[in-house]
Amino acid sequence: MNTSVIEAIERQKTTNLYDASKSIPDDEIRELVRLATFSPTAFHLQNWRFIAVRSPEAKARLRAVAADQPKVTELPSLSSWSVNWPWLT
């Protein structure tokens, strides 16, 4: 995995320019999820779930509930996370 990707995660930097012709291999997605699990959570609960969205149909559904952000459908692979808090559902 590219060191600049890891550094961007560590600095909590957002990226808005993407090369849609490139894809992210499964092993790199697994490593990104592993790194994401180091993020702090309230009360150290680690109550999250991670998904990798790849199909155009799934990206379109996600974009519809993500304030219609173009980057949701522009990314070759999209990793997302959700917090599982029963009192918020």
Condensed to tens digits (0 to 9), the pLDDT of residues 16-46 reads: 777 778 788 888 888 888 888 887 777 877 7
Residue entry with tokens 């930097």: 13
What DSSP string describes 11-36? TT-------TT----HHHHHHHHHHH
How far is it, in rounded angstroms, from Cα 71 to Cα 45? 29
Domain residue extents for the chain: 22-88
Q: Record the pTM.
A: 0.58
Strand extents, DSSP E, the chain: 48-53, 78-83
Encode pLDDT of 47-84 as tens digits: 777 878 888 898 899 889 889 988 888 877 665 555 44
User: CATH fold of 22-88, please?
Assistant: NADH Oxidase (3.40.109)
